[in-house]
Amino acid sequence: MANSGLQLLGFALSLIGVIGLIIGTILPQWKMSAYIGDNIITAVAMYQGLWMSCAFQSTGQMQCKVYDSILQLDSALQATRALMIVGIIVSVAGLGVACMGMKCTNCGGDDKVRKSRIALTGGIILLVGALCAVVACSWFAHDVIRAFYNPFTPVNTKFEFGAAIFIAWAGSFLDVLGGAMLAASCPRSKQVSKYPPVASNRPPSSTKEYV
C-alpha cells in the first residue's frame, strides 16, 4: 500500500489544484485583446472571461460588465462554464472522499485496506474532475486560436490567451497529479501460500532419550 507521505503530497497538490481552478474560473482574463497589425494605437485593453468582460484603461481604471444573457453567449463559452463548474464540484467531492481514506486521519475506521480503497476512490474522483477542467480549458483555447487565425475576423477583435486560462490549466494538471498519487493507494491483496506449513517431527528438548 502507498505510504502516508505519498497520500499527503497527493492531497496537497489536489488542494492547490482546486484552488487554482476556482481562481481561474472567477478571473475575467481568459482572453485578452491582441495588438496586431499596422498603426494600432489604443489606450484600452479588453479582457473577456467566463462571467464578465472588462476594459482596462491606461489610466489604471478597470470597468467590468457581467454578461446579461446566457443565451447570447457562444456555445464554447457556455460549455466551458459548465465543465469548469462540474470539475470544481467533483474535485471538491474527491478531496472529501480522499480525506476519509488517508492513513493520517481517523475517518473510515481502522481497517487499512478499507481506508486505502476509500483513498483510491477519492483519487479517481479527482481525476474525473480534473479531466473536466482540462477539456474546458482546451475547448476554450481551441476556440480562441481558431478565431485568431480566421482571416474573416477583424483585426481589432482578435484575442489571445489571458492569465486566467493558464491558472486554470495549471490547477487542472496539479489536480491530475494529486489524484494519480491518491489513486496509487490501491491495496494489494495478501498472498496466501498454496502449501500448508510443514509440521516438525523433532521431539521437544525436555524429553529424554533411553537406550
Who's near 13: CB < 8 A, 6+ residues apart? 174, 175, 177, 178, 181
Tens of pLDDT, residues 24-50: 999 988 998 876 554 455 557 888 889
How many whole angstroms from its chain centre is CA 187? 24
Q: Is residue 211 part of a domain?
A: no
Domain with 159, as residue range(s), is 4-26+70-183
Tens of pLDDT, residues 85-109: 999 999 999 999 988 877 777 765 6
d(CA 99, CA 108): 10
Q: Is residue 193 part of a domain?
A: no
pLDDT at 199 over 70: no
Q: Which of 183, 184, 181 is nearest to 122 (CA)?
A: 183
Q: Is residue 143 part of a domain?
A: yes
CA end-to-end distance (rounded Å), the chain: 56
Query: What is the CB neighbour count within 10 angstroms for residue 28?
Result: 21
State the pLDDT at residue 13.
93
Query: What is the CB neighbour count within 10 angstroms for residue 38?
Result: 5
Helix residue ranges, H only, the chain:
4-26, 75-101, 112-148, 163-183
* Number of domains present in the structure of the chain: 1
CATH number for the domain that contains residue 147: 1.20.140.150
> How many residues would you count in the chain?
211
d(CA 42, CA 178): 43
The residues with which 66 forms a beta bridge, in sequence order, are 52
Tens of pLDDT, residues 120-154: 899 999 999 999 999 999 999 999 999 888 888 77
Q: Is residue 33 part of a domain?
A: no
State the pLDDT at residue 16.
95
d(CA 108, CA 160): 47
